[in-house]
């Protein structure tokens, strides 16, 4: 079996690194788009983000209006059976969203690059 030349290995490492970085950026943008268009998707992070006793997820939409500026924020809220509210913050839903979308983005990016290089 022929080992790849050092220059080939180096270029493939560079391709993989760039694909990883680009697909990470794509995943972050996708999560942003996802939250703007479908904030309710954040509720899918509930099994990881909500602690025991708070099984029901809601997505809280807050609008802040300042002179010349309107800001929307979305955050996950977990509710217990008797109405206690737990706010786990946005880090876990963010990280989960990016992690889920990162791998498919990277696979697609690498597949496209591979296909183009074969031509």
Angstrom distance (rounded) from CA 22 to CA 103? 11
Scanning residues 8 to 47, which ones bind other proteins (CB under 8 A)? 11, 14-15, 18-19, 22-23, 25-26, 29-30, 33-34, 36-43
Spatial separation of the C-alpha atoms in residues 57 and 92, rounded to whole Å: 13
Does position 94 interact with other proteins (CB under 8 A)? The reply is: no
Interface with other proteins (CB under 8 A), residue from 2, 3, 71, 116 = 116
- CA separation for the pair 86, 4 (Å, rounded): 54
Please give the Cα distance from 30 to 98 (Å, whole number): 8
53 near other proteins (CB under 8 A): yes
In 1-119, at which residue ranges do the beta strands (DSSP E only) sit? 56-66, 69-79, 85-86
* Residues near other proteins, by CB under 8 A: 11, 14-15, 18-19, 22-23, 25-26, 29-30, 33-34, 36-43, 51, 53, 58-63, 74, 77, 79-88, 105, 108-109, 112-113, 116-117
């Amino acid at each position: 079996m022929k080992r790849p030349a050092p220059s080939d290995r180096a270029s493939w490492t560079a391709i993989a690194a760039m694909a990883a970085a680009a697909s990470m950026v794509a995943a972050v943008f996708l999560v942003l788009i996802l939250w703007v268009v479908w904030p309710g998707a954040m509720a899918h992070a509930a099994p990881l983000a909500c602690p025991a006793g708070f099984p029901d997820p809601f997505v809280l939409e807050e609008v802040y209006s300042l002179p010349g500026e309107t800001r929307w924020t979305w955050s996950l809220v977990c509710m217990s059976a008797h109405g206690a509210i737990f706010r786990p913050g946005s880090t876990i839903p963010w990280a989960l969203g990016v992690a889920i979308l990162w791998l498919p983005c990277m696979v697609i990016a690498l597949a496209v690059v591979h296909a183009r290089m074969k031509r």
